[in-house]
Amino acid sequence: MPHLRLGMSGRSQNIRPSLPKSLTDFHSLPKFKTAKIMYAKQDNVDHSVVAHEEPAKVINFASSVSKLPPQCAEAEEAILGGILLDPNAIMRVRDRLKPYHFYIKAHQDIYFSAIRLNAQEQPTDLIAIANWLSANDLLFRVGGRNKLVSLVSMCVSAVNIDALADLVVGKWKRRELGRLGAFALELQHKSDDDVTLEQAFEQLQTQIYNLQQGENTSSTSHIAGVMTDTYQIVEERNQGIVQPGIPTGFYDLDTMINGGFNRGDLVIIAGRPAMGKSAIAAQIGFNVAQLQNLPVALFSLEMSKTQIAMRLLAGEANVEGNYLKTGRISDCQWEPIITAVQDISTLPIYLNDSPTPSLSYFEAECRRIMALERRNLGLVVIDYLQLMGDSDGNRNNEIAAITRGLKRLAMKLQVPVICLSQLSRAVETRQNKRPILSDLRDSGGIEQDGDKVIMLYRDDYYHPDSPERGICEIIAAKHRDGATGTVKLLFDNQFVKFKNLARCGW
């Protein structure tokens, strides 16, 4: 049997600590960091351990054994007392404070009764709640009428109920951290057949994000609440308080798609090579960051971060990309380049050129950016769809699975996701080379999952003497929330930049 021999400075040291008699005796054990372990086959060598002298940090198990989960019973009682005293108190906390946020089960039942009575436009005073609990066989379980009376007697007013609600929710989140820790330990023992490592990270990241955002895990809502929220959205848009969508910066395109891209939309921008797909996607991202001051994440599987930055710099400085790439910069060009670099550097744009990203990687990176910015993203751009995934197996099914995943990503993060897509060569065989939905390459799932499918067509690409030189047709081939149609933008090939066409009378 091999013996353990660890070397340090040519010396050996035998350390044989006795086993602890109890959990608290772990503190008496010698603490060492991991050392280099060498195996020796000599039979005359005893088991010996030689380690680095620097002590390692040891988890103090005893300090947390007897601790209760985070909770504040006094705050819970003060909230319930305030609701019993003040008929308007429940209105201030019902949207963010849920029954499961309470630690004590009796408090959960009492608060639930108040929520139900308020939904029925009934008072939430002591008598009404006592009667509701009694009618539902819960009064005895919560401690009887004496419990309700004690809550009222301990509360002076509901003036601090908002702060108390935040405190109770915060305690609940800390309890949920413990549950997530147990969930992570459970995932580590799963086999790859049950849960792949990628799926495990995705599940854990989703739960952590939901906890950070304070989201309710239930997606089911009564139609009355949804209609109330919908009416409020319509009213705010009518008053100009909020925009109907996230504007692209191209006013004709925004008009056609009802004000911009909606949060949760999957937008497919498709076209044949050299039509300007990457350019218009980057331009929209630039406009969202510059004009709306919203964070933008741009993932490119085709170009490096430097190439993307070079394009943005060329368009903003009005300097041809060839000059930037070769370094042949004249004296008069340096000033606009420096100004453009300074202006672009202040924008909340994040570039990623990972060559083989997965759906879970996209989500993790987006959540990381949201954590850095401390707000939601304004736009996610992925360039482009056909470079994602592996080539093995059925490509149509693979692309369909990717587009479904991107739609789920848009819904999860509540952000519009633009994904670029190639078109099939069938376009080249037709006399009219304007693309249609059936030209989408590899899968029908693209047009199925996309909320908006936008296709690009430049007539001067096929006909150099076309009267519409420099004009790009933006064809909305699919629009889930409105009508389809076509608008035109100016394509400045010199700077690889799209611009609005001048409107007559403006």
**Mean pLDDT, residues 209-232 taken together:** 71
User: What is the DSSP secondary-structure string of 460-477?
Assistant: HHH-TT-TTTTEEEEEEE
In degrees and rounded to multiples of 5, residue 424 shows phi and psi of -75, 165
Burial (CB < 10 A; 0-12, 13-18, 19+), residue 444, is middle
**Mean pLDDT, residues 212-222 taken together:** 60
Least confident of 28-37, 101-110, 151-160: 28-37
**Mean pLDDT, residues 11-33 taken together:** 43
Q: What is residue 445's three-state secondary structure?
A: helix
**Mean pLDDT, residues 157-162 taken together:** 85
**In percent, how much of the chain has pLDDT > 90?**
17
Q: Residue 111's pLDDT band (boundaries 50, 70, 90)?
A: very high
Per-residue model confidence (pLDDT) at position 416 = 93
Give the chain's count of helices (H) and strands (E).
19, 11
Least confident of 2-6, 61-65, 92-96, 237-241: 2-6
Per-residue model confidence (pLDDT) at position 243 = 80
Q: Is the pLDDT of residue 17 over 80?
A: no
Q: Is the pLDDT of residue 37 over 50?
A: no
Q: What is residue 327's three-state secondary structure?
A: coil
Per-residue model confidence (pLDDT) at position 287 = 92
d(CA 226, CA 30): 61
- Chain segment 438-451, per-residue pLDDT in tens: 888 766 778 788 88
Number of Cβ within a 10 Å radius of residue 45: 13
Q: Is the pLDDT of residue 45 over 90?
A: no
In degrees and rounded to multiples of 5, residue 456 shows phi and psi of -110, 140
Per-residue model confidence (pLDDT) at position 50 = 40
433 contacts 427 by C-beta, under 8 angstroms: yes
Per-residue model confidence (pLDDT) at position 35 = 37
List helix spans (H) across 86-160: 89-93, 105-119, 126-135, 139-142, 144-154
Q: Residue 504's pLDDT band (boundaries 50, 70, 90)?
A: low
Cis previous bond, 209, omega within 30: no
Number of Cβ within a 10 Å radius of residue 11: 7
- Chain segment 178-196, per-residue pLDDT in tens: 888 888 888 888 887 788 8
Q: Is the pLDDT of residue 337 over 70?
A: yes
Q: Is the pLDDT of residue 471 over 60?
A: yes
pTM above 0.85, yes or no: no
Per-residue model confidence (pLDDT) at position 58 = 52
Burial (CB < 10 A; 0-12, 13-18, 19+), residue 244, is middle
**Mean pLDDT, residues 100-122 taken together:** 89
Calculate the CA 365 to chain-centre distance: 8
User: What is the DSSP secondary-structure string of 376-423?
Assistant: --SEEEEE-GGGSS-SSS-HHHHHHHHHHHHHHHHHHHT--EEEEEEB
List the 266-271 sheet strands across, edge first: 349-352, 296-300, 379-383, 417-422, 266-271, 452-457, 471-479, 485-492, 497-499
Q: Residue 333: what residue type? A: Q
d(CA 107, CA 83): 12
Per-residue model confidence (pLDDT) at position 25 = 46
Q: Is the pLDDT of residue 380 over 90?
A: yes
Per-residue model confidence (pLDDT) at position 426 = 80
Per-residue model confidence (pLDDT) at position 391 = 60
Q: Is the pLDDT of residue 52 over 50?
A: no
Helix (H) or strand (E) holding 76: helix 73-85
| Of the candidates 124, 53, 62, the residue with the CA atom closest to the CA atom of residue 87 | 124
| Secondary structure string (H, E, C) spanning 263-287 | CCCEEEEEECCCCCHHHHHHHHHHH
Most confident residue range from 15-24, 135-144, 206-215: 135-144
Least confident of 27-31, 263-267, 362-366, 485-489: 27-31
The mean predicted confidence, pLDDT, of the chain is: 80
**In percent, how much of the chain has pLDDT > 70?**
83
Q: Residue 8's pLDDT band (boundaries 50, 70, 90)?
A: very low
- Chain segment 275-285, per-residue pLDDT in tens: 888 889 999 99
Least confident of 52-66, 315-329, 357-371, 392-406: 52-66
Q: Is the pLDDT of residue 381 over 90?
A: yes
Per-residue model confidence (pLDDT) at position 66 = 54
Q: Residue 3's pLDDT band (boundaries 50, 70, 90)?
A: very low
Q: Please, what is the angle between helix 197-213 and helix 161-188, to 10°?
A: 170
